[in-house]
């Protein structure tokens, strides 16, 4: 009978890992690389070592305990990953159920377009990142010409600013029906004795009616009547 001593089996965990990897490369399925397969391989090697150890140089019990703890850790992490995947699936289903309640409602979400139909503009919004002394919105037609500039005034805090446009140009005439582009700008905060000037972010928001709920790679999404599909998490306001 061959004798396996500590020098030749210094790291059972490494042997088990190598054995599992070798089996996975030759098998048609990937189950051999799972934590349970690795644990089974490790225990087989451990039993073999105990049966063939040199009586004059027995296996180090402290090392064996450490290796068992490592294998249990691998198994625990694998079970934790399975649990997290299950929770993620349940969370996705819950989000879809919640999002379905938005169907038929108007929402503000990141977007830079608005429509004018029969002389009536769809309205839009602005997401400001902080207090600003002045917020402006510029509306351009499909040719890139500015038809109206709206002064939305000072904003005291970060948040969503709904904007209603009457569909008239700066000259007071009703603009033609069609799709228009929105751009927004916020004045930077002035420098003080204790702080330097800071840029305030401003993001245009398009209004749209939720028509359906879709599952995207990044999570639950909403299809809007304006043709956009946005993530549920990006909805800034529900009107």
pLDDT tens digit sequence for 78-124 = 777 777 777 766 776 677 778 888 999 999 999 999 999 998 999 99
pLDDT tens digit sequence for 187-211 = 998 877 787 888 999 999 999 999 9
In angstroms, the Cα distances linking 23 to 2, 8, 223 are: 24, 22, 47
The CATH class for the domain spanning 106-192+202-238 reads mainly beta
Cα–Cα distance for residue pair 76/80, rounded to 1 Å: 6
* Tokens read off for 179: 């799709």
**Percentage of the chain exceeding pLDDT 70:** 76
What are the residues facing 168 on neighbouring strands? 174
Least confident piece of the model among 17-26, 158-167, 181-190: 17-26
What pLDDT does 19 receive?
Answer: 44
Asked if 123 contacts 111 with a C-beta cutoff of 8 angstroms, the reply is: no
Instruction: Tell me what the mean pLDDT of segment 9-26 comes to.
Output: 44
Ranges of CATH 2.60.40.4070 domains, the chain: 106-192+202-238
More confident residue, 30 or 73: 73
What are the residues facing 212 on neighbouring strands? 223
Asked if 205 contacts 109 with a C-beta cutoff of 8 angstroms, the reply is: yes
Confidence of residue 58 (pLDDT cuts 50, 70, 90): low
Confidence of residue 61 (pLDDT cuts 50, 70, 90): low
- Three-class secondary structure of residue 116 per DSSP: strand
């Amino acid at each position: 009978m061959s004798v396996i001593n500590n020098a030749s089996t210094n790291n059972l965990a490494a042997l088990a890992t190598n054995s599992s990897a070798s089996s996975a490369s030759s098998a048609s399925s990937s189950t051999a690389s799972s934590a349970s397969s690795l644990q089974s391989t490790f225990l087989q090697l451990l039993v073999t070592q105990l049966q063939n150890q040199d009586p004059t140089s027995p296996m180090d019990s402290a090392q064996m305990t450490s290796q068992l703890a490592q294998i249990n850790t691998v198994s625990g992490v694998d079970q934790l990953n399975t649990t997290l995947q299950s929770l993620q699936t349940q969370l996705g289903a819950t989000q879809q159920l919640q999002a379905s309640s938005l169907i038929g409602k108007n929402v503000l979400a990141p977007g830079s377009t608005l429509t004018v139909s029969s002389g009536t503009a769809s309205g839009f919004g602005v997401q400001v990142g902080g207090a600003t002394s002045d917020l402006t919105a510029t509306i351009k037609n499909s040719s890139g010409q500015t038809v109206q500039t709206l002064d939305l005034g000072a904003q005291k805090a970060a948040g969503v600013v709904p904007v209603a446009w009457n569909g008239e140009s700066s000259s007071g005439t009703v603009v033609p029906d069609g799709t228009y582009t929105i751009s927004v700008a916020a004045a930077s905060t002035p420098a003080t004795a204790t702080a330097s000037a800071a840029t305030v972010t401003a993001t245009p928001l398009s209004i749209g009616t939720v028509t359906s709920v879709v599952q995207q790679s990044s999570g639950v999404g909403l299809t809007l009547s304006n043709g956009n599909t946005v993530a549920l998490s990006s909805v800034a306001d529900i009107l």
